[in-house]
Amino acid sequence: MTSSPRLENFVAFSAQITAFNKVEIWGTGLADVYLDTIDGLVGAAVTDALLDAFAPIATLRSDAARTDRLRLEVFGSERLGPVARAIVKLWYIGVWYPLPSTWQEQFGPTARNDAFVPTPAAFVEGLLWPAIGSHPPGAKAPGYGSWRLPPNIPSF
């Protein structure tokens, strides 16, 4: 993957809103695919606005301060909030869920208005699997007999 400052910002933003770290976000191999997907759906201007809003927040040292301002300035924003929430779902479940109709009435229609999986790898790399200490059924096989071991749930 060719890295760019914009992609790096998107990875930092994704890490902040999913509670996974940047190595894990890059580690899915999907950061560039998802950024392209989002650009294609809502338009690069909206994505840029989201990343621009996050940029000053990313520099804050305190976790609590970052969370507070993220709530206020991103998740609390009528324009950016629904997009940020859809990105959380995208990372965890690997599915893009359409934005609310109110958003589309106010800010314009998205390129697609159905729930869809951007790439087959999205299912395999969904963050929900490591979040519950499991693996995607049918992929990343954990080895014969591993089901007798307790799940290895990461601490957030």
Give residues in contact with another protein (CB under 8 A). 1-3, 21-24, 26-29, 120-121, 124, 140-146, 149
Nearer to another protein, 19 or 149 (CB): 149
Smallest separation (angstroms) from another protein to the CB of 9: 14
Nearer to another protein, 105 or 138 (CB): 138
Nearer to another protein, 3 or 101 (CB): 3
Nearer to another protein, 1 or 19 (CB): 1
- Residues 6 or more apart in contact with residue 63 via CB below 8 angstroms: none
SS (H, E, C) 68-107: HHHHHHHHCCCCCHHHHHHHHHHHHHCCECCCCHHHHHHH
Angle at 119 between CA 40 and CA 146, to 5 degrees: 145
Smallest separation (angstroms) from another protein to the CB of 64: 20
Smallest separation (angstroms) from another protein to the CB of 20: 11
Angstrom distance (rounded) from CA 95 to CA 88: 10
